[in-house]
């Protein structure tokens, strides 16, 4: 009954005429072709990553910003300037991101935050903690504790295959780490005591029918942004700042975290938000691991990638070849073009494709062919790297140990 009621509540949110974005639901408003990110910035109270911030990133790192930044895929932030100030002043900071392991294989949308986090780790040369929320997936999904825990280990292989530095990266299962490090639970308790049930309902939309585990979980996701949660890495210092790259739907967790951090004597974590990776069927929602036709999975064969793009990728082309050549295609709606903005790194080539498709000189089939080539290369390389990730390598990444990082000067 509780599961049925939860599904009914989600359906009611999805049927709403208003735009709804939570950690569990992403639904564009009635009549909208996709999520209105400017509206989200106003609603959530974050800041747009503008030209000045891009110049600051380039100045501090000495490198051209990642194409996810240049193209507005990571588009919003909280206190990013403070992180850049800390780095410029030779003060240490660390990265924190996560993955909720709900399926055997990750899909392309799951890769986005890890690809960007890899860039951040490389350009800033900082440590990273990756939280595998197997406890969350047990509470929200139809999974046993044992299965959620197993999936965390399997998903860690895909994360490691992104190329993270083993000397600077700690990947942890909540289930395992909670039984290993008392400081984790101590900080969870401190966070839980700062948030009332009414506040949790207001932030996350919890209902009286939700299990008490869901209501208590946000504190678990909050405290990895506090450095004393990892005493083997940062000691007892509360002065190590944290930067969290994540999708915009995770922002409610960290709005809560930023509210309680000063009361507990910690820096507010900085956050940098990405937009959603759209489903193959259209830009109205993010991809779903539960619908294989909506996603390109990292385990898909080259033929499966080709067939999914050709069969399911929503087209911004016209109804007939003659109309397309006369009026051109719509790149704002075309999923093949949208996917290229994520995965085709060559700016000049992307600009050329946009011009050709919008002019009508490039047909939908040709655009899909370009995307298939890019995705087949990306996924095949990922699969090769993942084959090299042994169980022993995963265990090393997931072993609680000191990491290498730049100490304050």
Residue 11: predicted pLDDT = 42
The stretch 87-111 carries a mean pLDDT of 94
User: Is residue 272 helix, strand or coil?
Assistant: strand
Listed residue (230, 226, 204, 229) closest to 215, CA to CA: 204
Q: pLDDT tens digits for 167-217? A: 999 999 999 999 999 999 999 999 999 999 999 999 999 999 999 999 999
Least confident range from 33-37, 147-151, 361-365: namely 33-37
Instruction: Tell me which residue of 379, 406, 381 sits closest to 121, measured CA to CA.
Output: 406
Residue with tokens 């083997």: 232
Mean pLDDT of the chain: 92
DSSP string, 219-247: HHHHGGGSGGG-HHHHTT-S--EEEEEEE
Nearest to 282 by CA among 311, 306, 314, 305: 314
At 97, list the tokens: 């991101």
Q: In what order do the strands lie in the sheet with 270-274?
A: 47-48, 74-78, 270-274, 241-247, 93-99, 128-132, 169-173
Q: Tell whether the model's pLDDT for residue 32 goes beyond 80.
A: no
Q: Tens digit of pLDDT for each residue in 378-399?
A: 999 999 999 999 999 999 999 9
For tokens 């998903």, name the residue. 155
Kindly report which listed range (115-129, 273-287, 315-329) carries the lowest average pLDDT score.
Answer: 273-287
Is pLDDT at 90 greater than 50 in this prediction? Answer: yes
Query: Which tokens is 279 given?
Result: 């489903």
Whole-number pLDDT of residue 283: 65
Quote the pLDDT of residue 6: 39
Question: What are the φ/ψ torsions at residue 182 (nearest 5 degrees)?
Answer: -60, -30
- Mean pLDDT over residues 74-101, rounded? 96
pTM of the model: 0.92
Rg of the chain (C-alpha set): 21
pLDDT at 15 over 50: no
Domains of the chain: 2-279 (3.40.50.620), 287-387 (1.10.240.10)
Kindly report the backbone phi and psi dihedral angles of residue 129, in degrees, each rounded to the nearest multiple of 5, phi listed first: -115, 135
């Amino acid at each position: 009954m509780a599961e049925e009621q939860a599904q009914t509540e989600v359906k009611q949110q999805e049927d709403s005429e208003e735009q709804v974005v939570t950690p569990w639901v992403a639904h564009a408003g009635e009549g909208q072709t996709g999520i209105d990110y400017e509206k989200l910035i106003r609603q959530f109270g974050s800041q747009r990553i503008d030209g000045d911030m891009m110049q600051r990133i380039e100045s501090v790192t000495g490198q051209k910003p990642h194409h996810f930044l240049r193209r507005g895929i990571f588009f919003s932030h909280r206190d990013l300037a403070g992180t850049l100030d800390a780095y410029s002043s030779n003060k240490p900071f660390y990265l924190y991101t996560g993955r909720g392991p709900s399926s055997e294989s990750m899909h392309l949308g799951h890769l986005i935050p890890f690809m960007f986090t890899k860039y951040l780790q490389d350009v800033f040369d900082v440590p990273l903690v990756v939280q595998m929320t197997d406890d969350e997936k047990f509470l929200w999904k139809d999974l046993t504790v044992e299965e959620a825990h197993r999936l965390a280990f399997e998903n860690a292989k895909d994360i490691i295959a992104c190329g993270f530095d083993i000397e600077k990266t700690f990947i942890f299962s909540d289930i395992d780490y909670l039984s290993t490090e008392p400081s984790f639970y101590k900080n969870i308790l401190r966070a839980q005591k700062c948030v009332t049930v009414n506040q949790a309902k207001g932030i996350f939309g919890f209902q009286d029918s939700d299990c008490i585990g869901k209501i208590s979980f946000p504190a678990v996701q909050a405290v990895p942004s506090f450095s004393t949660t990892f005493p083997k890495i940062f000691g007892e210092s509360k002065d190590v700042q944290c930067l969290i790259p994540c999708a915009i739907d995770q922002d409610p967790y960290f709005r809560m975290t930023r509210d309680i951090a000063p009361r507990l004597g910690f820096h507010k974590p900085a956050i940098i938000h990405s937009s959603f990776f759209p489903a193959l069927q259209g830009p109205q929602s993010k991809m779903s691991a539960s619908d294989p036709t909506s996603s390109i999975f990292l385990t898909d064969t080259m033929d499966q990638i080709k067939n999914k793009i050709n069969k399911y990728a929503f087209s911004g082309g016209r109804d007939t070849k003659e109309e397309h050549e006369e009026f051109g295609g719509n790149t704002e709606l075309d999923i093949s073009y949208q996917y290229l903005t994520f995965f085709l790194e060559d700016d000049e080539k992307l600009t050329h494709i946009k011009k050709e498709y919008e002019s009508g000189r490039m047909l939908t089939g040709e655009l899909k062919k370009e995307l298939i080539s890019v995705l087949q290369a990306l996924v095949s390389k990922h699969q090769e790297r993942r084959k090299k990730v042994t169980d022993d390598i995963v265990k090393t990444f997931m072993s609680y140990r000191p990491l290498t990082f730049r100490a304050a000067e």
